[in-house]
Amino acid sequence: MLGSSKQLRLKFTDDFDDYPDTINNRPNESASTNAPSKPLSENLMIGRRARRQRQNQRRKAATAIALEKAAMPAEEPNTEAAPLGLQYGKNDPSGIKSVADGYIPLENFPKFPKLPLEMRREVWHYILPEPQAIFVFNNGYIQSIVTGSITRKTFKYRAAASYKVPRLTQVNKETRYEVMIYHRPAFATNFGGIPIYYNRKTDLLHFDSPETLLNFYGGSAPNHLPRSLTNGFRLNMREFHNTVSQLAFGNVRANEGMIGAILSQMKGLKVVLIEDKIMRPDGKDIIESFCHGGKELVMGWDEYTVERPIESRVTLRYVDEPTFKQRIEGWTGRIISEEEEAAERAARVEAKLIAEAAAQRELDKLNRQNELVNEHGSKRKRQDSDVDGPISKRAKA
């Protein structure tokens, strides 16, 4: 050993509390009892003295601060109700301490599992994940297929997603179950067998380009390749078509027909945000006509054409690059506000009523014309019968 336990202990540079003289000055137990105790070296004594001085200075400063706080006059109680906190207090008029008042809540609450299930679920509801924009990007690669001495290369269409996994899924079974009520695992087929946690009401699927959308579909999309080559969709897209309500497409320069054809297949879709990167003049009309069923799909996909009723049509929003980036980075859960959605829904209902009224007027007009034609025909028959009557009587006479 380099020295006794006492000497080794004094070699630390960190401050420590003073020890009693019986400990600091006791003889070395590891040495022989007959040998006289060795005095501490001068350097160790100097370090010990300096540490004691610093400790005394800190004690004096703490005492002065405590006396200063005790001498300060007591603050008058606030008559307004304090914000809701986590623990009852004596000095607070409302009887509650809050985090804003400097109260630090407890980190452990062992009685929480004994609370009723409804109350625990209410607590978990307050810390559910916030709405997020799930970034979907290309993850395809070239695959080599070796058959004997022949090597063929083919492109493997695949997409990947960047998003935040809900932390509550790793706390316990109860929190995991609560999270999965709103954020269900979805789209495992499209992401190579690994699902993502997706909230259909608040989360946004953001595709960075139409090419990424094609990778998400496995390389088979309407109006992109002839259906005879792919035999329909290569992947099972039923979940995507039925659950997604909000979409965002970036860098849209072409492929408007493919985008509109894909949007036409999505039954639950409500709003689409599109970054317009100088599309062709009729690009917006192409997307809208295919999306709402105004035009039939091409390349053998005719039977996939879906005509949407007026009240359930998709809202398309075309924005420039800065606005698109701002909407994605500051995602709050909705592309358009509830007021805008309600106004558009009312406008669609009004347009539907106007269209029905116009159709009814046309039908009434057609019925009136038919009645006039029938009335004119019956009148003509009566006139003919009146003329033929006297002639037949004279012929009999």
Which 3 state secondary structure label does DSSP give 370?
Answer: helix
Mean pLDDT of 52-63: 87
The answer for residues whose C-beta is within 8 angstroms of residue 155's C-beta and 6 or more apart is: 140, 141, 142, 143, 219
Say what the pLDDT of residue 392 is.
Answer: 57
Mean pLDDT of the chain: 80
Could you tell me which of 134, 153, 131, 151 has the C-alpha nearest to residue 142? 153
The confidence band for 32, taking pLDDT boundaries of 50, 70 and 90, is very low
306 to each of 144, 214, 255, 302, how far by Cα in Å? 38, 20, 19, 9
Q: Among the listed ranges 16-20, 63-67, 212-216, 251-255, which one has the minimum average pLDDT value? A: 16-20
Rounded CA-CA distance 168/394 in Å is 105
Say what the pLDDT of residue 40 is.
Answer: 55
Say what the pLDDT of residue 104 is.
Answer: 60
More confident residue, 310 or 56: 56
Say what the pLDDT of residue 208 is.
Answer: 92
What percent of the chain has a predicted confidence (pLDDT) above 90? 35
Q: Among the listed ranges 103-107, 120-124, 188-192, 342-346, which one has the minimum average pLDDT value? A: 103-107
Could you tell me which of 352, 321, 315, 353 has the C-alpha nearest to residue 335? 315
Could you tell me which of 244, 247, 257, 264 has the C-alpha nearest to residue 304? 264
Beta bridge partners of 246: 271
Rounded CA-CA distance 175/168 in Å is 6
Mean pLDDT of 83-94: 47
Half-sphere exposure of 341 (CA within 13 A, CB side): 12
Q: What is the pLDDT of residues 4-17, one digit of tens each?
A: 444 444 444 444 44
Tokens standing for residue 239:
């979940």
Rounded CA-CA distance 94/100 in Å is 14
The confidence band for 321, taking pLDDT boundaries of 50, 70 and 90, is very high
Is the pLDDT at 383 greater than 50, yes or no?
A: yes
Domain boundaries, given as residue ranges, for the chain? 102-131+167-199, 132-163+200-348
Mean pLDDT of 267-296: 90
The confidence band for 22, taking pLDDT boundaries of 50, 70 and 90, is very low
Beta strands in the chain (DSSP E): 87-88, 96-97, 133-138, 141-147, 150-156, 159-162, 184-186, 196-198, 204-207, 246-252, 271-276, 315-319
Q: Among the listed ranges 4-18, 31-45, 76-90, which one has the minimum average pLDDT value? A: 4-18
Q: What is the pLDDT of residues 123-140, one digit of tens each?
A: 998 889 999 999 999 988
Describe the crossing of helices 117-126 and 173-182 by its angle, rounded to 10 degrees. Answer: 60
The answer for residues whose C-beta is within 8 angstroms of residue 320's C-beta and 6 or more apart is: 275, 276
Say what the pLDDT of residue 42 is.
Answer: 78
- Burial pattern 366-394, b for ≥16 Cβ within 10 A else e, equals eeeeeeeeeeeeeeeeeeeeeeeeeeeee
